[in-house]
A and B are shown apart, each in its own frame.
Chain A
């Protein structure tokens, strides 16, 4: 059996919430941004990561791209454990070149004093040690791959359109030829029409260069089109993961169902149902012994308050964390919220 490119086990990240008195030794309140996340990703595979705002997608993306140290858990990349290398020192790690990140706000992620050319050249210089003509050739190649005309390369970020900036951000990440690209809502800041061209570009690049993607998005349709598998997050935990097509066709977790019901249909005919009523629970000091979705869940029963459902296998490569999942919706009512 070949080792997966990325093998993440029980990864958690907590943040201190508010100030803790430095006199007391007791731990202060904590935000559980990412809890117990286990995922694997094969070579060339694309995993979509969906969930509503604040559920920990960006935190997970930052953990996986080694910008942030986990509180617990393991990140194995190509068979090597990376969580032992502190994020501060990861810049010098040989795996740095192989894991690249595309940021949500491309404009913000480009140094305002860099031209597009400088931005694309930067990782090529530091990670690959390219200089002079080699560097220029590689920059030109990365720009061409991402559909950036040469004439734009001399511009500063504020002189580029949103779509062009997104291309610069992608070209910068693609330049070092990573094996794993983590994309944190790469199109969230763009107009719909531009989004489509950027998504096409991303799909094309993956096919061409054989990269693996972890694609963070809150747009389910995008994930469905671009990804082989999907992981649905709720308050820091993965509540359902499986083959994208199958999960969308037959979601097993009530939260996934609500998300899908709320997404506009691809054919544009079905009207989206508004997303769940009420707010999610506070991520601060979440109780470990109840289902975090209880209270918003249309199916919640007494048991959900006493026992947190764990991920259970539905079918091969398909898991869901709901007491009632997998029983082919057994006793559950089929009605969706709204």
Chain B
């Protein structure tokens, strides 16, 4: 794994860049809240709306809070919501797709119907509706983000399973004495995991965007909690008056995070592909 990682990174520097960025994001999520230079909630009206400077790298907002610290602290919440929703949909959607593809019949039909129902809605509107109906708490944002990604996971897992269900090595596994469950979990699943991992990385980006989007329109995390979407929403009002940094920096961080996970998806595919191992 380590060796193939080196090999892939050596071959494709963009992947290396994405991994570096990813490590940085994870680090921010882990130690950000304890290492932030300023208290993200402490307002200082004397120092409101300062442009970026040596003390406040990203400037300060209308309440004089340090934007850099707020961006840093928000990493844990934003990435946490995205990671939790992706993990949830990976487990539920992935297994549903696996079972649908492997067994077919009524399981396939039932899973397909559920996925189609979700697909019938404009996805972001659906997420809004779920959060509006259930209340805008963090677990509900996680749930809503997971639900709108459900059809995608079902489709990828199902399609990959259908192909592999007919593969020679599945017959070989049966000849070798593996029962259905064992064929599914030990032969089919490990072979679709890399694709699912790629999918996870790609949807991580969308999940971040979705969670921030919900907060942006006031249906997600509530102020004054530092969160990238809220910060962009709050800063948007100041762009016309020339205080561009209030919205720009959280927006840029958001963009970098989404971009990073998309790049990572491609890199991951290479690392996890056994044909790339030497």
Identify the A interface with B (CB < 8 A).
Answer: 62, 65, 67, 87-92, 96-97, 100-101, 103, 105, 108-114, 119, 122-123, 126-127, 156, 158, 169, 172-173
**Binary interface profile of B, 80-107, with partner A (CB < 8 Å = 1, else 0)?**
0000000000000000000000000000
**Binary interface profile of B, 195-213, with partner A (CB < 8 Å = 1, else 0)?**
0000000000000000000
Q: Which of A65, A113, A172 contacts B274 (CB 8 A)?
A: A113
Q: Which of A96, A109, A113, A123 contacts B168 (CB 8 A)?
A: A109
CB of B176 within 8 A of CB of A111, answer: no
* CB-CB under 8 A for A108 and B177, given A113-B190, A113-B274, A156-B274: no
Q: Quote the shortest CB–CB distance from A97 to chain B (angstroms).
A: 7
CB of A111 within 8 A of CB of B191, answer: yes
Q: Which residues of B contact A105 (CB under 8 A)?
A: 168
B180 within 8 A of A: yes
Would you list 5 pairs from A and B whose C-beta atoms are within 8 A, ordered by A residue? Answer: A97-B177, A103-B172, A108-B168, A111-B191, A113-B190
Q: How far is the CA of A119 from the CA of B178 in the complex (A)?
A: 13
Q: Which 8 residue pairs are nearest across A and B when measured between Cβ atoms? A: A123-B176, A108-B168, A126-B177, A109-B168, A127-B177, A111-B169, A109-B172, A91-B179
Q: Which of B173, B179, B190, B191 contacts A122 (CB 8 A)?
A: B173
* CB-CB under 8 A for A156 and B277, given A91-B177, A108-B167, A111-B187: yes
**Residue on B nearest A101 in the bound complex, by CB:** B175
Q: Which residues of A contact B179 (CB under 8 A)?
A: 89, 91-92
Identify the B interface with A (CB < 8 A).
Answer: 167-169, 171-180, 182, 187, 190-191, 274-275, 277
Q: How far is the CA of A105 from the CA of B171 in the complex (A)?
A: 12
Q: Which residues of B contact A97 (CB under 8 A)?
A: 177
Q: How far is the CA of A105 from the CA of B277 in the complex (A)?
A: 22
Q: Which of A91, A96, A112 contacts B191 (CB 8 A)?
A: A112
Q: Which residues of A contact B169 (CB under 8 A)?
A: 108-112, 114
Q: Which residues of B contact A96 (CB under 8 A)?
A: 175, 177
Q: How far is the CA of A62 from the CA of B171 in the complex (A)?
A: 9
CB of B175 within 8 A of CB of A67, answer: yes
Q: Which residues of A contact B274 (CB under 8 A)?
A: 112-113, 156, 158
Q: How far is the CA of A97 from the CA of B175 in the complex (A)?
A: 8
CB of B172 within 8 A of CB of A172, answer: yes
* CB-CB under 8 A for A126 and B176, given A112-B191, A113-B274, A156-B274: yes
For B169, B173, B179, B182, the residue with the greatest tally of chain A CB atoms inside 10 Å of its CB is B169
